[in-house]
Structure 1
């Protein structure tokens, strides 16, 4: 199933959120850039959730490396509302590329994998590392499926 890329814009923040489904890799890539306020962050997260539901997509690459300024810190909303809904939509693996210079402060004192227990999440500094990890998750999942049906 192919889906049109989605670009969200706000006054002063053109294309602050880009949601692109990679049909070859079968994952959703969400790229954030510029200054993103809480309203835009929630809007982008909900747009991503809608795409996950439509695609029954198990893999999400969330890239915050191009963000500027403070990132919205609604971990409570993400973990209590967005997370369970995303897992229900079929999400199993999330590769999160952290905003530059924020990795040390973003998830402390609670690591991401303790906040989101519905799916596996890993935090990376580089987009390339995130892509590599997500690909390895897919390879393992494909091998598990092959073993199960053998």
Structure 2
């Protein structure tokens, strides 16, 4: 049985990761648990590299199992990650929201960068199916 990226995601629930999903033609970034700043930023930088190497315009960010996004990571997203993302072809980001209110609030707070308005459209979803449906529109 061949393991597809979707199957890999389902089987690797404890593994933060980033990869190109050939089936969906998009980049997936998966954030799990309480991540150190180094772990979080490594996934973010790998996401930028994958966006550049694949020239894809769509990113699915799975934060469903993220416990909380630390303040220093929120700042890093705003001041480091988004400026780098603007140098890629990224136009749409879909987030699968965390189940817990702290993770949800902290993830949304990081995505309030005025410079991306009109360049990258961001939306939040409760399920992968909803997120993929929107990304494929």
Higher relative contact order (CA 8 A, sep 6+): 2
TM-score with structure 2 setting the length: 0.74
How far apart are residue 16 of structure 1 and its match? 3.3
Check conservation: 1:16, 1:34, Cα contact below 8 A: no
What residue number does 1:71 align with? 69
| Runs of 4+ that moved beyond 6 A | none
More strand by percentage? 1
How far apart are residue 105 of structure 1 and its match? 2.4
Check conservation: 2:86, 2:116, Cα contact below 8 A: no
Distance 1:64 1:111, change over 3 A: closer
Instruction: Name structure 1 gaps, 5 residues minimum.
Output: 6-13, 137-150
Q: CA separation in 2, counterparts of 1:113 and 1:20? A: 24
1:1-150 matches, cutoff 5 A: 16-67=15-66, 69-73=67-71, 74-102=73-101, 105-106=105-106, 107=108, 112=112, 114=114, 116-117=116-117, 118-136=119-137
Aligned length: 123
Cα RMSD of the aligned pairs, angstroms, is 2.7
Distance 1:116 1:98, change over 3 A: farther
Distance 1:115 1:128, change over 3 A: farther
TM-score with structure 1 setting the length: 0.69
Instruction: Name structure 2 gaps, 5 residues minimum.
Output: 6-12
